[in-house]
Amino acid sequence: MDFEPHRGELTAYCYRMVGSFHEAEDLVQETLLRAWKARDRYDSARASLRTWLYRIATNVCLTALEGRARRPLPSGLGAASDDPGAPLPPATDIPWLQPFPDALCDADTRAGLRLAWVAATQVLPARQRAVVVLRSVLEFSAAEVATQLETTVPAVNSALQRARAALADAGELDEIAEPDDAETQAVIDRYARAFEAADVEALVRLLTDDAILEMPPVPLWFRGSDDYGRFMHRVFEMRGVGWSVRGLTANGQPALAAYTPDGQLHTLQVFTVTGGRISHNVVFADPRVFEAFDLPSKIL
Q: Of 136, 170, 204, which residue constitutes the final position of a domain?
A: 170
Whether residues 71 and 208 fall in one domain: no
Residue 95: asked if its preceding bond is cis (omega within 30°), the reply is no
d(CA 240, CA 97): 29
Q: Of 144, 170, 196, which residue constitutes the final position of a domain?
A: 170
**Considering the chain, what percentage of its residues have pLDDT values greater than 90?**
88
* Beta bridge partner(s), residue 284: 268
Please indicate, yes or no, if residue 176 is contained in any of the structural domains.
no
What average pLDDT score do residues 8-23 get? Answer: 96
Number of domains in the chain: 2
What average pLDDT score do residues 52-62 get? Answer: 97
Whether residues 284 and 195 fall in one domain: yes
Whether residues 130 and 253 fall in one domain: no
Whether residues 51 and 152 fall in one domain: yes
Whether residues 22 and 163 fall in one domain: yes
Give the pLDDT band of residue 177 (cuts 50, 70, 90).
low
Whether residues 240 and 130 fall in one domain: no
Please indicate, yes or no, if residue 165 is contained in any of the structural domains.
yes
Please indicate, yes or no, if residue 237 is contained in any of the structural domains.
yes
d(CA 90, CA 83): 16
Please indicate, yes or no, if residue 226 is contained in any of the structural domains.
yes
What average pLDDT score do residues 109-113 get? Answer: 82
Rounded to whole angstroms, what are the CA distances from 112 to 56, 233, 277? 20, 34, 21
pLDDT for the residue numbered 249: 95
Q: Of 115, 136, 170, which residue constitutes the final position of a domain?
A: 170
d(CA 246, CA 239): 18
What average pLDDT score do residues 184-195 get? Answer: 97
For residue 228, what are the domain limits?
182-292
CATH number, domain containing residue 206: 3.10.450.50
Whether residues 22 and 161 fall in one domain: yes
Question: Among residues 119, 118, 128, which one has the least CA distance to residue 13?
Answer: 118
Tens of pLDDT along 195-221? 999 999 999 999 999 999 999 999 999
Distance separating the N- and C-terminal Cα atoms of the chain: 46
Whether residues 141 and 264 fall in one domain: no
Whether residues 246 and 104 fall in one domain: no
Q: For the sheet containing 218-223, what is the strand order?
A: 218-223, 207-215, 277-284, 265-274, 253-259, 244-250
Whether residues 116 and 211 fall in one domain: no
